[in-house]
Amino acid sequence: MPTNTVITAANEAFLRRINELSGEKVTRCEQCGICSAGCPLVAEMDRTPAEMMRMVQLGDEDIAKSKTIWICASCFTCTVKCPRGLDPSKVAEALRQLNLRKAVDYIDLMNIPKEEMEILPQIALVSAFRKLTG
């Protein structure tokens, strides 16, 4: 996260882009942390959902490189609990789109181990390809 509070035009442009892609108004987040407390996957994330929201508010583009945006399972636990009516899963989806639209994939289809290909349900593979590749 930025160590100072100077918000540049680039920071503002990034915030506007994520607001536009997600349909959310991220500046409404009050950083209560309820989304992070209830997220079933937070232990696997490198940034909590509340941190993700804060980094977007600050226009910190590093959040688009985080593991968190790919780990979010769009389970909507945070969505139903947020006191500000925000949907962090849509913000994670917008951040994934930034990568996928540049053809930056999160998984390499050619390098899934053969043993995993044999046991993974086909629907899981199709879902992973849709969510994690551009």
Residues making contact with ligand SF4 (CB under 6 A)? 29-35, 39, 41, 49-50, 53, 72-78, 82-84, 86, 88-89, 92
Instruction: Using alpha carbons only, give the angle 41, 64, 81 rounded to the nearest 5 degrees.
Output: 40
Q: Which is nearer to ligand SF4, 41 or 124 (CB)?
A: 41
Shortest distance (Å) from residue 113 CB to ligand SF4 = 25
* Rounded Cα–Cα distance for residues 86 and 61 (Å): 20
SS3 of residue 107 by DSSP:
coil
Half-sphere exposure of 40 (CA within 13 A, CB side): 6
Q: Which is nearer to ligand SF4, 50 or 98 (CB)?
A: 50
Shortest distance (Å) from residue 14 CB to ligand SF4 = 17
* Rounded Cα–Cα distance for residues 36 and 51 (Å): 8
Q: Which is nearer to ligand SF4, 67 or 109 (CB)?
A: 67
Shortest distance (Å) from residue 34 CB to ligand SF4 = 4
Q: Which is nearer to ligand SF4, 65 or 117 (CB)?
A: 65
* Rounded Cα–Cα distance for residues 124 and 47 (Å): 25
* Rounded Cα–Cα distance for residues 47 and 36 (Å): 9
Q: Which is nearer to ligand SF4, 109 or 124 (CB)?
A: 124
Shortest distance (Å) from residue 74 CB to ligand SF4 = 5
Asked if 88 and 23 count as a contact pair (C-beta separation under 8 A), the reply is: no
Shortest distance (Å) from residue 5 CB to ligand SF4 = 19
